[in-house]
Amino acid sequence: LRLNEMDALEKHEIFPTKFNFGSKTTDDYRKRVVYFSDDTIGNFSFTSRHLMKPFRAAMTDSLVQSYGLTQCMKVMKTEWASEDDLKVFHTNEYIEAIKVATKTKSKKRGGDADCPEFFGVLEYCRAVAGSSLSSARVMNTRTSDIIINWNGGMHHAKSYEASGFCFINDIVLAILELLKVYDRVLYVDIDCHHGDGVEEAFYTTNRVMTVSFHKYGDFFPGSGRLEVMAYIAFAAYTVFII
């Protein structure tokens, strides 16, 4: 939007620079809503022609801040995950493979079309996982009701491999962190692809219920059929909405 258009929007309170919440103040809401920001996420690239564009998260963050929305939220900086944090779910062998890939400077990189090796992939994994782990740790303090994090959601990654643009499963790591405090966790996945990585991680526990809204058929990852439910030991804790 041009500056004069923004002025007009503010004048008509479509995007007001000051917010009125009735009896509650902006500070009251800021305490209850935490917004995580990581100004490094846009520096990573899966390769120029890849569909996954981490800079989109950076653009979203920029828009949120430009509209002044952060004035009614508590803004926190992401703390990157450590290698030990990643290994809470992912195997040692897999993390070691990522460490090798992140140092590769050859034009002939490994991986596949969905998950190509690229310089800095380990740091990318630490940034993504750190965003979701930071969110979970704040939630565990019970001081906030809503945590906003644009940088996560990599629901296809398995403990032992990358899959579907996802190198690290930050969601599983965050849920495991939440389970340190909460008895049960409900995970709702509204991506159009089946959240197979998260579901697989919690197949055999009744402490996590996974609900996946997804398209099924000739569509990645090709899993999430309703018929599969009959073979899952804890089917009552896994829900498909196709």
The Cα 83–Cα 87 span in angstroms is: 6
What are the chain's domains?
3-180 (3.40.800.20), 183-242 (no CATH)
More confidently predicted of 5 and 212: 212
Does the structure show a pLDDT above 80 at 209? yes
Does the structure show a pLDDT above 90 at 27? no
Identify the burial level of 237 via C-beta atoms within 10 angstroms of its C-beta, where 0-12 means exposed, 13-18 middle and 19 or more buried.
Answer: buried
Task: Give me the mean pLDDT over the 40-58 stretch.
Answer: 73
**C-alpha pair distances (Å), 105 with each of 72, 110, 178, 187:** 43, 11, 37, 38
Q: Write down the catalytic residue from 156, 193, 194, 214.
A: 156
Would you state the pLDDT for residue 233? 47
Would you state the pLDDT for residue 40? 83
- Burial per residue of 4-29, b for 16 or more beta-carbon CB atoms within 10 angstroms, e otherwise: eeeeeeeeeeeeeeeeeeeeeeeeeb
Residue 156 appears among annotated catalytic residues? yes
60: its two tokens: 């979203």
Task: Give me the mean pLDDT over the 227-239 stretch.
Answer: 51
The model's pLDDT over 180-200, given as tens digits with 9 standing for 90+, comes to 999 999 988 887 667 688 888
Does the structure show a pLDDT above 50 at 223? yes
What confidence category does residue 18 fall into, taking pLDDT thresholds of 50, 70 and 90?
low
The model's pLDDT over 118-177, given as tens digits with 9 standing for 90+, comes to 778 899 899 999 999 999 999 999 999 899 998 888 888 999 988 777 889 999 999 999
**C-alpha pair distances (Å), 136 with each of 64, 74, 156, 170, 176:** 21, 15, 19, 10, 9
The Cα 74–Cα 205 span in angstroms is: 34
Type of residue at 201: A
Q: Which of 32-36, 85-89, 108-112 has the highest mean pLDDT?
A: 85-89
The Cα 8–Cα 210 span in angstroms is: 44
Would you state the pLDDT for residue 155? 82
